[in-house]
Every structure is written in C-alpha cells, then in structure tokens.
Chains A and B, each alone.
Chain A
Amino acid sequence: MTGWRHSITLRLALAFALLAALVFAALGAYLSRSADAHMAELDAHELLGKLALARRVAMNETTPAALAARLGDALVGEHGVIVAVDGEKGPIFAWPDAGTARALAGAAAAIGEIPLRLELAGGEYRAVAGALHTGWGEEARVVVARDIRHHTDFLDQLRRDFWLAVLAAALLTAAVGLLVARRGLLPVRVIARTAGRISAGRLGERIPEQDVPAELAELASAFNAMLGRLEEAFRRLSDFSADLAHELRTPIHALRMQTEVALGKPRAVDEYRDLLASSLEEYERLSRIIGDMLFLAKAEHGLIFPGKEAIRLRDLCQRLVEYYGILAENVSLELRGDDVDIDGDRLMLERAIGNLLVNAIQHTPSGGRIVVAIAREAERAVIAVSNTGPPIPHDALGRIFDRFVRLNQDNEGSGLGLAITRSIVHAHRGTMAVRSGERTTEFVIRIPLRVAP
C-alpha cells in the first residue's frame, strides 16, 4: 500500500494508541508514586512506633539484661524488623540476630529520626535511629530498621503489571481506532469508488448524498455538482461533434452522389458546367458552416476579440435594414429610435444584428411587420428586433440560441445564426434575450454604451 505515511486510518489509530499509552502511563506513574509514598508512611509510622517503644522500655528497665529481655519479648513475632541498642560500653541488644543488627549499627552514624532508606547486605531497609535514656542512667543509641523488600517487590510487580496494561490498552485502542477510522472513512471510499467508476460513457454516476456524514456532505455535493457540470459540458461537446458530422456529411454525401452519377456516362459540356457550378455552391455552403463553427468554437473559449471602434447604432442598423430589406417582400420593415453609440466591432455587430433581421424576415408571414428599435437604457444600448408572427413554442425558446436549432424544418439556413449572434453579443459584454408572445416575437440585445474618450 503506497503512502502508509499518509493513511488517515493509520494515523488516527496511532494517535489513539499514543493517547491511551500516555494517559495510562501518567496514571501509572501517579499511582506508583502514591503507593510508594503510602508505603514509606506506613514504614515510618511503624519505625517511629518501635523507636518510641524502645525508649519507653529503656526508661523503665534498670539493667541492660532486663532491657534486652523486655525488648526481645516485645519483638516476638515481628518479621523483617531489625533493632540494635548500643550502650556506652558496647552492644546491649540485637534483633533478630547479632550479625544483621551489628551491620546495621555500623551504618547507623548517618541515620537520624527521619526514616532513611538504605541498602545493607543485599537487602533494602528503611531505618531510624535515636538516643535512648536507660533506667540505670546510661545514654544508649537505638537503631530500628525495617526490611522493605516485600514492599519494593510489590511495587515493582505493580509497575510491571501496569506497563503490560499500558501496552495492552495501547494495542486495543489502536485496533479500535483502526476500526472506527475505517468505518468513519467508509463514505470516502464510497466517493472514491464512485469516482473510479466514472468514465466518459458513465458520467451519470452520483454519490448518494443522504448516506454521507455531515462532515463529508459538502465534499459529496461539490463532487456531484462537478460531475453535473462535466456531464453537461460533455453532452454539449458530443452533441456538437455529432451535429457537425451530420451537417457536413449530408452535403458531402450529396456532392459525392452527384459527381458519381455525372461521371457514369459521357455528357455535354453544359451539363458538366452545371454540375461544377452546383458543386461550387455546396462547397461555399460547407466552407461557411465550417467558418461559422470555428467562430463559435473560438467564442466558446473566449478567443473572440472584437475591435473597439465607435459604432453609431442607427447608421449601422440603417444600412442593415436597407440591405436585408430587399428580402422583405410584402412585409413592412421599420427602423425606430435614437442614435446610440457603443464601442465595438463593426463587422461582428453587422453580422449579429443582420442575423436577427434575416431571422425575423424568414419568420414573418406575408403582410406582417418588423421593427428594429434602438434605445438607451441606463448604461446600455438596447437593440430590439421584433416581428409579427406565430409564437415560438415555449420549449423551443430555451434552446433557440443553441447550434443547429432550426424551428422550421424546411428552413434553408445553417441553424447557426442565432448562436453566432449570441456569441458576438457576449464578446461585447452584452446580453441577449428573446420574448415570444401571441402575435410578436422579439429579440433584444443589450450592449454597454460607448465610454466617452
């Protein structure tokens, strides 16, 4: 598996384990210290008790032998306690045996009434020492020690057990952490699997957003939205290619048929001439479609850079109306409005508005009326081309600016005119709208006004 270092699951599990180990270790250290202190306190209590006992006994006895006997009686049954009493003239008492007690007494110089921990003959002891006033008037010194081996053994055992517990806890939490993290990250796997399934042919896949925890909902919905955009763009692209192929195939097929049939038998020169002329017309049409498609493709990628000259919209529309008006037989064509100036590309704007005019002329029934109205609206120039005629169906209005949309099946045009118009308007930072009512249809272009130089 690549990137163990980057595995969230592993990192979470390790973090859990480390945390558990730290908590347990701290707890263990605290407990061990308090057990230690508690033991020391118990020992001190006992040692000081024995010291007090020795002092009281010593006070009441009148001979060293009596004192030794009393102390011996008092200490019967005590294990691990060492007592040594030294008088001015030598040892008076030693418990449990002379050897151990002497060894202790030898080390006793440093010992005081505060319990001291010391090692002696391989054993561990805690000891106190003090002066002793005997009943016969001799000043003696007593050392009381306690073998604390079983205490330290116990504490050592406790610590060992505890470290094992820490280790076990760390392992357990790591395992649990691993499990929890895996489960928690399951939706991420689902997202990854979904992403893995997506290919050009399967852009319809989506992450089920309702199953995703709140933290990942944003990611899932962003992911789904991205898929949506991709799907839409991809659909447009493949539609575009399919449309283009269709648009080009049809005339090329016709050209081919025509040429094949023509070559099928010898013909008169005039027939060949006709054939070539008709081919030429098709070539022109094809090269216009390709040019238009290229323009649209460039526009879609923001590669159309219109010139910026001062355009007097009224003059421009006047010329267009004059030119295309020739086609408007039995239809009245009127130009209205003030002179409004914009910055733009004359050729492109002629083409954009010209397309609207041609469109209007083609769709206006005999006796109808077309109005080109120029107006000023806030910071924008408005060019509205309206014509009388049957309404455009509502569902067609939405895709009227798409490529190759021909509302009229027997319409000769390429179906690119309105798409080009919109591209040009957008390249001029303008907007394009269409409204179709019962009796009139209106296309409206809005383009920012000319900025005074």
Chain B
Amino acid sequence: MKILIVEDEAKTGDYLRQGLAEAGFTADLVRNGVDGMHEGLSGDHDLLILDVNLPGVDGWQVLKALRAAGRELPVLFLTARDQVEDRVKGLELGADDYLVKPFAFSELLARVRTLLRRGRVPEAETLALADLELDVRKRRATRAGRRIDLTAKEFALLELFLRRQGEVLSRSFIASQVWDMNFASDTNVVEVAIRRLRAKVDDDFAPKLIHTLRGMGYVMEIR
C-alpha cells in the first residue's frame, strides 16, 4: 500500500513517514502543496495524508485539484484548528476523514487502515482469533466453545478488536468507534471497559488475547 504524505512541518513529516513505513506501508513525503499536487496527480498512491496548513498552495487547493482531475484516492486531512468550518469544508471538498493536531499516531494508523479497507473486503460475518469466535449476525460470542454474555457495547468493542487484529488501537479511536465519542477526554472510560471485557474474554482463558501497550493503546493478537 502506497501512502503520500503532504506535510510542511519537518519533524512531523519525518516521523509520519517513519511510523507508516514501520507499520508496513510505502510512504512518500513531500513538503509543499505544489509537489503534493504533482505527486498526487502523477503518482499511484492508495491514500493521501494532507496537512491543510501549507505555505503557498494550501491543502484545500491540493484536494480540489485532485478531485477536479478525477483522482478518487481516499484523503485524510490534518488540521491544527479544531473548528467546525474546517471539518465541514474538508468533507465538502471530498476528503474522507480528518484528524485534529495534535493526534496520537496510533489513531492516525487506525484511521488510515479503515480508509484503505473501506469498500475493499466485504465485512466478514464470523470473526475468530485462537479459540475466540464471534458471530456478528447472531450477536454471539464464544470462547473455547463456551458462550460469553456481552453487553451491546462490549460486543461492539470485541468486534472492533477482532476486525483489527494485530493493530494498535488508541483509546480515542476506540471511544470514537464504539461509543461515537469524538473528543479527547482525559477519563479512563475505555480502560474500565476493556478491563471488564478482559474479565469476560481473557481472564479464565489462555492464551491472553487483549494486550495493553502502555501509552499507545490496546492490541488483540496471539503472543
């Protein structure tokens, strides 16, 4: 998967590229709007990460030019301003998602994966990892053949983990995906929710499937 990053801030750009590369993507970085437009139009990228605050040709112009030329790659834009106008403007111009700086890298990664997956693979109706199984249609979860009782939100949380196996999910991403809470909150709601889910899914079983990555979030995988 090839990702184009348009970001003028040197450090941010470098670490975005490094982070995405280490997550298994091919990441190209350009540092201004003109190069961004050129690369976006001529390259074969699968996704564009676009900072809207660029000197000279800004992100909006890049986005307009790409859409006007019929390039339909998914666009995730980054904005420093937490303002309604920016959110609305970006989505109206044809961006697919946005993040407000400063954001957690794991959150960016999760959103990038969501965008790349969109419309590609039909959503599976049964999910499984080790002896944990989830029947999405019947709303049934079992581990080692034993039925696990889950609340609706616990089920949604587990489904998210199973669909995102091996991916680090940040707290804010989980809050936004499961509870539709989209603002940075300094409460430990997600921690508590995961502790409860673990009690039902992991505590009495082996191997453990939900792991905490301190400072980053959570990941579901067999270790």
Contact = CB atoms under 8 A, between A and B. Distances in A.
A288 B186 contact: yes
The A interface is mostly helix, strand or loop, or mixed, namely helix
A41 interface: no
B153 A322 contact: yes
Contacts of B181: 319, 323, 350, 354
B214 A327 contact: no
Contacts of A354: 181, 183, 185
A320 to B, nearest CB: 8
A326 B184 contact: no
Interface residues of A, number: 32
A307 interface: yes
A7 interface: no
Indicate the member of A273, A274, A322 with the most B CB atoms within 10 Å.
A322
Nearest to B193: A326
Contact of A319 (B82, B85, B180): B180
Contacts of B42: none
B189 A305 contact: no
B15 to A, nearest CB: 13
B186 A414 contact: yes
B84 A306 contact: yes
A334 interface: no
A322 B215 CA distance: 25
Given A288-B184, A327-B192, A274 B214 contact: yes
Contacts of B215: 276-281, 284
A404 interface: no
Contact of A326 (B102, B186, B189, B216): B189
A142 B10 CA distance: 126
A350 B85 CA distance: 18
B211 to A, nearest CB: 13
A390 interface: no
Interface in A294-333: 295, 305-307, 319, 322-324, 326-327
Nearest to A345: B84
A277 to B, nearest CB: 3
Interface string A186-229: 00000000000000000000000000000000000000000000
A276 B105 CA distance: 14
A18 to B, nearest CB: 64
Interface string B176-191: 0001111111111100
Contacts of A76: none
Interface of B: 82-85, 88, 102, 104, 153, 175, 179-189, 192-193, 196, 213-216
